[in-house]
A and B are shown apart, each in its own frame.
Chain A
Amino acid sequence: MKNSGLKPVLLRHETILFVVLVAEWIFFDAVGHNFGTYDNTCDILRHSCEIGLLALAMTPVILTGGIDLSVGSLLGLCAILFGKFWRDAGMPIPLAAACTIGVGALAGGLNASLIAWLRLPPLIVTLGTFSLFRGLAEAITHGVDTFTDFPASFLFLGQERWLGIPAQALVFTAAGIFFWLLIHRTTFGRSFRAIGFSPEGTRYAGIPVGHRMAMVYVLAGIVSAIAAIIYTARLGQAKADAGTGYELFAITAVVLGGTSIFGGVGSVHGTLLGVAAIAVLHSGIAHALLPGEMAGMLTGVLLILALAGPALPKMISGLRARKSTPRLAKQIP
């Protein structure tokens, strides 16, 4: 940042999003009941934790120009497998959790090998595993089996506070720091962007593109498994329909956070702000006693504004340029 005046910082996507977030907060605190309380802040954190984790994992995926539609389904599959490991296989909770994370890594590995080594398009591969994982979850439980009665020590992770902070928020913070360091402070992070801009160019630069791409999908699998465990702890139950539609929430948060869907551009703090903006909106609408459907609508408006906002000045200057060129053309002959 050599010519860092105040203007470029103020016009940065993250800054604008931060202002929007603060505005949301002030607005809902004014019109809502008990919105800005500490209790509700904790609830917002708890409710957005799983989607936040998925969005964190989605950020490097989208940075490489890919997409992972299977994370929500994998969350469902991991949730019921966690239940199976614990209830039916009789494993203690920590072992069951470890096995679940292993399954997440394997499932991510399936995506990774199809995308990185068979060079299939991520959209198609993960659309396939999106159905596959959910289908597996439904087949294993026949759609009706539900896992409940988890021990209180496990439910603590999803429902209680540790030193005044929701327990799962600590996991989320750790994941946030991990991804921030990975993307913004390591050569891995730089290579993700490079792949997003030009996979071929990156390959010629001597970076193992296949290996790096595989890494982001395996990471997404692992994080989905962690999110599944937290989801189970928060609800106290695991069912095959866990996490339905979460992949789209995660993608929305990432894109809202300023990551380009074509890859190459984006940041982890942008994603975190995106998650926060959506979570605050959802909670705010409930606390302002507005109908819940408005949350979806407003998220859409927010997303479109966030994307159209930066494009507008460009379009206006483009129009000006077009207006001026014909005049010039007339004068020439």
Chain B
Amino acid sequence: MRKTLLLLLAVAVTTISGCKQSSKAPSGGNVTPTPAARQITIAFLPKSKGNAYFVSCAKGAQKAADELGDRLIIDGPTDPDPARQNEIVENWITLGVDVIAASCENKEGISTALRKAEAKGIKVVTYDADALPDARSFFVNQATPQGIGYALMDEAARLCESNGEFAVITGSLTAENQTEWRKFVEERRAAAYPNMKCVAVEACDDLKDKAQSETTALLSTYPNVKLILSTTSLGVPGAAEAIKQAGKTGAVKNIGLGLPNENKRYVHDGVTQSVILWKTADLGYLTIYAADALAKGALKSGDKTFKAGSLGEFEIQDDNIMLGKPFTFNKDNIDQFDF
């Protein structure tokens, strides 16, 4: 009896799948650039679905898809299982989407799935976090280290009227991205603001508590410090708490890289002057415009610029579409953002 059941299962599955094999034309199988003829399906993969950063990216993506009349599928892992991103991409491949836009949790792991998609004629763009270059056509680059470093230093100089001492809180002294950002902060200072002086660089090990204690120590060691600049998102609220508790609100300015939500309170209290990042909704918006253009054949490698709807023109460096200069969140605009 058991054997009969197993046999039945085997027969049923094979027949059902067998006859279905060719009955539906795989729409993603051969994407030919026929604009306006057919609705384009774009699959949008965040690193994780619940993360406020990606939720606001997805909002921008949805807006772009609505404007373009494309169908947008948004799905991502809810847990940190790296296999999930691959499974989602592989499901999209059989589903037959036209373009996949992915933010990659793990470069190498996801690249095998993305390459498979490309082999099936599905276009691939990445945003936020890149895959291996051979697994996608374009990367929508939200910020370069130079852009971030220069933006931080320019904002610091604006607040200090281009002279005086400042100190830097960094995530760690060894992390590659942090080192890179600090290098460009220094490059900008030396070139444009010679009257400003960086008196100390302290590491907070990406801990808010440590950022707070390091800042407290800095404020007493260097009483002339006019500004604290954090190159890590946890440094900004940590330093703000230290400045507030030292009673130096407003006297010592506080800026850095970070998410608006973590810093709203301090910005409204006047402890933190500006938080620098990019507009995540614009990142999603630009990504979808790029994905759409890629599917329609309007965006090709070698292009130097790209026009994305109401956001206007963007520069392309090699295969990176540049979102442009970072955005400064301050008292006037921070409440408009929720991530």
Of the listed stretches B11-19, B31-39, B151-159, chain A binds: B11-19
Q: Is B75 close to A, CB under 8 A?
A: yes
Which residue on A lies nearest to B107, using beta carbons? A148
Q: Is B21 a contact partner of A38 (Cβ separation < 8 A)?
A: yes
Find chain B residues with CB under 8 A from A241 CB: 80-82
Q: Is A127 close to B, CB under 8 A?
A: no
Point out which of B26, B79, B82 has the most chain A C-beta atoms below 10 A from its C-beta.
B82
Given A22-B12, A236-B109, A43 and B91 touching (CB < 8 A)?
yes
Find chain A residues with CB under 8 A from B237 CB: none
CB distance from A143 to the nearest CB of B (A): 11
Find chain A residues with CB under 8 A from B109 CB: 146, 148, 235-237, 239
Q: Which of A34, A235, A267 sits near B83, CB closer than 8 Å?
A: A235
Interface string of B162-181 (1 = CB under 8 A from A): 00000000000000000000
Bound: A203/B96 CA distance, A: 57
20 pairs across A/B with beta carbons < 8 Å? Answer: A1-B1, A9-B1, A14-B2, A25-B13, A29-B16, A34-B26, A37-B17, A41-B13, A47-B90, A146-B109, A235-B109, A237-B82, A237-B106, A239-B106, A241-B81, A242-B82, A286-B92, A287-B91, A287-B95, A292-B78
Q: Is B88 close to A, CB under 8 A?
A: yes
Find chain A residues with CB under 8 A from B88 CB: 286, 292
Find chain B residues with CB under 8 A from A283 CB: 91
Interface string of B55-83 (1 = CB under 8 A from A): 00000000000000000010100111111
Given A40-B94, A286-B91, A292-B75, A235 and B20 touching (CB < 8 A)?
no
Q: Is A172 close to B, CB under 8 A?
A: no
Bound: A21/B16 CA distance, A: 13
Bound: A291/B86 CA distance, A: 16
Q: Is the interface of A mostly helix, strand, loop or mixed?
A: helix
Known: A269-B2, A286-B95, A289-B95. 8 other contacts (CB 8 A): A41-B17, A47-B90, A235-B109, A236-B112, A242-B83, A245-B79, A289-B73, A292-B88
Q: Is B5 close to A, CB under 8 A?
A: yes
Find chain A residues with CB under 8 A from B112 CB: 155, 159, 235-236
Bound: A14/B106 CA distance, A: 40
Closest 7 CB pairs of A and B: A148-B108, A36-B20, A286-B91, A40-B94, A237-B109, A41-B17, A236-B112
Bound: A46/B116 CA distance, A: 14
Q: Is B87 close to A, CB under 8 A?
A: yes
Bound: A291/B73 CA distance, A: 10
Bound: A292/B77 CA distance, A: 8
Find chain A residues with CB under 8 A from B2 CB: 14, 184, 267, 269
Bound: A244/B90 CA distance, A: 20
Q: Is A18 close to B, CB under 8 A?
A: yes
Listed in ascending order, the chain B residues whose CB lies under 8 Å from chain A are: 1-2, 5-6, 8-9, 12-13, 16-18, 20-21, 24, 26, 49, 73, 75, 78-83, 86-88, 90-96, 106, 108-109, 111-112, 116
Find chain B residues with CB under 8 A from A38 CB: 17-18, 20-21
Find chain A residues with CB under 8 A from B9 CB: 18, 21, 273, 276
Bound: A291/B12 CA distance, A: 28
Q: Which of A36, A43, A146, A234 sits near B106, CB closer than 8 Å?
A: A146
Q: Is B20 a contact partner of A37 (Cβ separation < 8 A)?
A: yes
Given A9-B1, A47-B87, A287-B91, A245 and B24 touching (CB < 8 A)?
no
Bound: A122/B219 CA distance, A: 56
CB distance from A142 to the nearest CB of B (A): 13
Given A33-B95, A37-B20, A289-B73, A245 and B81 touching (CB < 8 A)?
yes
CB contact list, A228-287 vs B, under 8 A: 231, 234-237, 239, 241-242, 244-245, 267, 269, 272-273, 276, 283, 286-287
Given A34-B26, A236-B112, A239-B106, A43 and B17 touching (CB < 8 A)?
no
Find chain A residues with CB under 8 A from B87 CB: 47
Bound: A43/B116 CA distance, A: 12
CB distance from B3 to the nearest CB of A (A): 9
Bound: A286/B74 CA distance, A: 11
Q: Is A293 close to B, CB under 8 A?
A: yes
Which residue on A lies nearest to B71, using beta carbons? A289
Bound: A285/B78 CA distance, A: 15
Q: Is A145 close to B, CB under 8 A?
A: no
Q: Is A149 close to B, CB under 8 A?
A: yes
Find chain A residues with CB under 8 A from B13 CB: 25, 41
Q: Is A34 a contact partner of B90 (Cβ separation < 8 A)?
A: no
Find chain B residues with CB under 8 A from A198 CB: none
CB distance from B87 to the nearest CB of A (A): 5
Find chain B residues with CB under 8 A from A231 CB: 83
CB distance from A177 to the nearest CB of B (A): 11
CB distance from B222 to the nearest CB of A (A): 34
Q: Is A39 close to B, CB under 8 A?
A: yes
Q: Is A269 a contact partner of B6 (Cβ separation < 8 A)?
A: yes
Given A34-B24, A155-B112, A239-B106, A293 and B78 touching (CB < 8 A)?
yes
Q: Is A34 a contact partner of B5 (Cβ separation < 8 A)?
A: no
Given A34-B95, A38-B18, A237-B109, A269 and B5 touching (CB < 8 A)?
yes
Find chain B residues with CB under 8 A from A149 CB: 108
Bound: A244/B112 CA distance, A: 21
Find chain B residues with CB under 8 A from A25 CB: 12-13, 16
Find chain A residues with CB under 8 A from B86 CB: 234-235
Find chain A residues with CB under 8 A from B82 CB: 235, 237, 239, 241-242
Find chain A residues with CB under 8 A from B5 CB: 14-15, 18, 269
Bound: A15/B9 CA distance, A: 10
Bound: A198/B116 CA distance, A: 51
Find chain B residues with CB under 8 A from A146 CB: 106, 108-109
Which residue on B lies nearest to A284, using beta carbons? B91
Find chain B residues with CB under 8 A from A40 CB: 17, 94
Bound: A4/B4 CA distance, A: 14
Q: Is A34 a contact partner of B78 (Cβ separation < 8 A)?
A: no
CB distance from B85 to the nearest CB of A (A): 9
Bound: A276/B5 CA distance, A: 14
Find chain B residues with CB under 8 A from A276 CB: 9
